[in-house]
Amino acid sequence: MYNFYSDTQTRPSRAMREAILDAPVGDERHDEDPTTLALCERVADLLGMEAAVFLPSGTMCNEIAIAVHCRPGDEVVCDRVAHVIYAEGGAPAALAGVMMHPLDGPRGMPSLDQVAAALRRPSSFAPRSRLWIAEQTVNLGGGAVWPVERLGEMAAAAARAGLATHLDGARLMNAVVASGVEARRHAAGYDSAWIAFTKGLGCPVGAVLAGSRDFIRDAWVLKRRWGGAMRQTGVLTAMCLYALDHNVDRLADDHRLARRIGAALGDNPLIGAVLPVDTNIVIADLAPPAPDAPALAARLAELGARVIPVGPRRLRIVTHMDVDDAAADALIDAFARLADETG
Ligand SMILES: *Cc1c(COP(=O)(O)O)cnc(C)c1O
């Protein structure tokens, strides 16, 4: 099976597993795991932040950040396609007690005017506008990369209005490689930011959330409270350090492969439109002769290629280190065969 379902489906390589063997470990909740401390220091530095904390998932990074920045009843401003809205089980409401104020930005990237219009005037009637969240890259925007200047302008405008700012950097390193702009410049102006190790970087577990020393101290309280404090996490963070050393530059290969797939699908009669391919995600809207996205995905799976429907007539295809040009050929051929069948 050629797996284009998600970049989360990579398997840790032998070299990545071997990185664990000699990693020094200790109890992370007493700051005694040298490998985890080294990873946190490295990610804090990468993102231009004072401190960082290792967490089991990106979802926990987002939800801890929301709960630290907000009080119950506050309002969070972000795009409608944000992961915090569609894929975190309603956690902003369930865990932090906040309201979401979704915006409709092109490819998940709202304008300054859209954010300005969403901000509420302070009053005892209205919820308090409290947090702006941006996603870099925008997953359901087709892996869209915010130009770094715009990302910073959004943070500055939100901060001027008294909001805290948070950057969901699940695929920030894809944006770094695609833009050639270092990670700390993407995160500049944001109060908190995180990167995932389980997406394009190819690790089995882990994400690191960064911010000010005070922010991370508060984040640690929730990490413990919500059961995210672990023990000898050096066995996990050794793989994350390995990924930072070996798996960042190669993201360019994933981007090249995604562009190739996007271009080929643009010529397939089953596809009406392909969103611009900035990084490792291809989002394709189906043309009238095609069946619905779930049916097409099922047929593709029968032909050996796994993709994910992300709307009734929308498919997402993700490239990563476990798919190559031969896999892309198989995927493109499968689409061509289905187009012939549909005739
Ligand atoms: C995957 C993802 C997350 C959540 O990360 P998990 O480790 O799966 O919890 C958050 N935001 C975005 C944009 C993602 O793609």
For residue 138, the ligand 1 atom closest to its alpha carbon is 13
Q: Is 301 exposed, middle or buried (0-12, 13-18, 19+ CB in 10 A)?
A: middle
Q: Which of 54, 139, 320 should be mutated for ligand 1, with most atoms under 8 A from CB? A: 139
Spatial distance between the Cα atoms of 27 and 271, rounded to a whole number of angstroms: 52
Question: How many angstroms is it from 343 CA to the middle of ligand 1?
Answer: 38
- Model confidence over 120-166: pLDDT tens digits? 999 999 999 999 999 999 999 999 999 999 999 999 999 999 999 99
Across the range 191-216, mean pLDDT stands at: 98
pTM to 2 decimal places: 0.97
- How high is the pLDDT of residue 292? 97
Q: Of 89, 92, 28, 85, whose CA–CA distance to 240 is shortest?
A: 28
The number of beta carbons lying within 10 Å of the beta carbon of residue 41 is 12
Q: What mean pLDDT do residues 167-179 have? A: 98
Of 9, 10, 55, 59, the residue with max ligand 1 atoms within 8 A of its CB, to mutate for a pocket test, comes to: 59
Host H or E run for residue 49: none
Radius of gyration of the chain (CA): 20
Q: Which residues pair with 53 in a beta bridge?
A: 209
Residue 342 pLDDT level (bands cut at 50, 70, 90):
confident
> Coil, strand, or helix at residue 192?
strand
Is the CB of 270 inside a 6 Å radius of any atom of ligand 1? no
Mean pLDDT over 199-223 rounds to 98
What distance in Å separates the CA atoms of residue 248 and residue 173, rounded to the nearest whole number?
7
Residue 166: CB partners within 8 Å, gap ≥ 6? 62, 65, 66, 69, 131, 132, 133, 134, 190, 191, 192, 193
User: Which residue blocks in the chain are alpha helix, DSSP H?
Assistant: 14-18, 34-46, 58-69, 83-86, 91, 112-118, 148-160, 172-179, 183-187, 213-225, 234-246, 251-266, 293-302, 325-342
135 CB near ligand 1 (under 6 Å): yes
